[in-house]
């Protein structure tokens, strides 16, 4: 039976006997507006743990634009219905005052991983994410926590935070869930009107086009970026923030592709910002690289900013 708990003290009190009884706790941190991508996280948590906690908290610390925070969807009743259907044990719904009773002075920062991709365009965003996730880990003390691969940079940062700070839990990455046309599910998709929704498919299409080029032997990140750029010029409502090829672990830009590479992009459609990514191995199709002009890869080239934001 689902319990909705808004206070940190009450949640701890409810979880303590479970922990003492040796039951494993799985945490799915969310900001609500749950969709099929979240469902996949919750289902995985349900399979692997005795108790499942879903947190729903629209974290003000990670929003760099107040208007984005104000318009973030908050359909709590629908979210609770979803959690009931998936047999979640606890939904943690703290207020901002509960999570941040006073100014948050202790901040978690993973700077090298935060400066690329979205971090370059959203100052302070990943500090806000890492800080709230750390607080949630301290409050719930889960055995496992579940994060979607769609937010690849967030996932890399949280994995590194757990490793560097010796946090006693396992991060479980869960594959991106997509619409039939390839669009990655996101709470932000609901802001798109019909025309924008059609246009949004350009994002996975461009990622697939980049993947196809790598698999057919192209090794230059710059050539790939230049080849996909015109796809985003087709409509004035589209504004590409970045389309980058980076090392999946360090997130540093790659110029010559001779090992697995993360292709990540952020696209504005009107006032909605969508992100997506995929990982490609240059030998995925059994073909070695065509030529290798140098030995090291995760190098100097900055991520192509095809057009300024």
Q: Kindly indicate which of the ranges 9-17, 29-37, 190-198, 223-231 contains the residues binding ligand PAF, using the contact rule CB under 6 A.
A: 29-37
Q: How far is the CB of 188 from ligand PAF (least distance, A)?
A: 11
Distance CA 33, CA 157 (A): 23
Q: Mention every residue, 6+ apart, whose C-beta is less than 8 A from residue 148.
A: 37, 38, 40, 41, 155, 173, 174, 175, 176, 177
38 a catalytic residue: yes
Which residue in the set 51, 88, 133, 206 belongs to the binding site for ligand PAF (CB under 6 A)?
133
Q: How far is the CB of 210 from ligand PAF (least distance, A)?
A: 24
Q: How far is the CB of 154 from ligand PAF (least distance, A)?
A: 6
Confirm or reject binding of residue 29 to ligand PAF (CB under 6 A).
yes
Which residue in the set 62, 93, 131, 297 belongs to the binding site for ligand PAF (CB under 6 A)?
62
Q: Kindly indicate which of the ranges 85-93, 126-134, 137-145, 204-212 contains the residues binding ligand PAF, using the contact rule CB under 6 A.
A: 126-134
- The nearer residue to ligand PAF, 132 or 184, going by C-beta atoms, is 132
- The nearer residue to ligand PAF, 146 or 242, going by C-beta atoms, is 146
DSSP letters along 119-144, please?
Answer: HHHSTTHHHHHHHHHHHHHHHH--SE
Confirm or reject binding of residue 265 to ligand PAF (CB under 6 A).
no
- Structure tokens belonging to residue 275: 């992100």
Q: Do 42 and 83 contact (CB within 8 A), yes or no?
A: yes
Helix 221-228 / helix 202-215 crossing angle, nearest 10 deg? 140
End-to-end CA distance of the chain: 47
Q: How far is the CB of 129 from ligand PAF (least distance, A)?
A: 5
- Angle, vertex CA 263, rays to CA 261 and CA 265, nearest 5: 160
Neighbours of 290 (CB within 10 A): 10
Neighbours of 105 (CB within 10 A): 5
Q: How far is the CB of 193 from ligand PAF (least distance, A)?
A: 23
- The nearer residue to ligand PAF, 108 or 304, going by C-beta atoms, is 108
Q: Give the residues lining the site for ligand PAF (CB under 6 A).
A: 29-31, 59, 62, 129, 132-133, 151, 154
Active site residues: 38
């Amino acid at each position: 039976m689902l319990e909705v708990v808004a206070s940190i003290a009450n949640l701890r009190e409810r979880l303590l006997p479970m922990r003492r009884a040796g039951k494993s706790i799985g945490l799915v941190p969310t900001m609500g507006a749950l969709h099929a991508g979240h469902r996949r996280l919750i289902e995985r948590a349900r399979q692997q743990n005795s108790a499942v906690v879903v947190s729903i908290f629209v974290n003000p610390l990670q929003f760099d634009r107040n208007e984005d925070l104000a318009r973030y969807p908050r359909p709590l009743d629908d979210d609770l219905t979803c959690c009931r259907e998936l047999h979640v044990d606890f939904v943690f719904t703290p207020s901002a005052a509960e999570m941040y009773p006073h100014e948050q002075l202790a901040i978690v920062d993973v700077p090298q991983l935060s400066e690329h991709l979205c971090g370059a365009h959203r100052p302070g965003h990943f500090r806000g994410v890492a800080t709230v996730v750390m607080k949630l880990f301290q409050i719930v003390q889960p055995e496992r926590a579940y994060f979607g691969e769609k937010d690849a940079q967030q996932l890399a940062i949280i994995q590194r935070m757990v490793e560097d700070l010796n946090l006693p839990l396992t991060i479980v990455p869960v594959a991106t869930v997509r619409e039939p046309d390839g669009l990655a599910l996101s709470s932000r998709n609901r802001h798109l009107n019909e025309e924008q929704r059609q246009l949004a498919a350009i994002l996975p299409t461009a990622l697939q086009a980049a993947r196809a080029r790598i698999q057919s032997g192209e090794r230059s990140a710059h050539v790939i970026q230049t080849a996909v750029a015109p796809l985003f010029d087709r409509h004035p409502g589209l504004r590409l923030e970045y389309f980058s090829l980076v090392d999946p672990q360090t997130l540093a830009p790659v110029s010559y592709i001779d090992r697995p590479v993360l292709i990540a992009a952020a696209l504005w459609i009107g006032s909605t910002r969508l992100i997506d990514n995929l990982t490609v191995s240059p030998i995925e199709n059994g073909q070695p690289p065509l030529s290798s002009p140098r030995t090291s890869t995760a190098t100097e080239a900055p991520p192509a900013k095809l057009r300024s934001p």
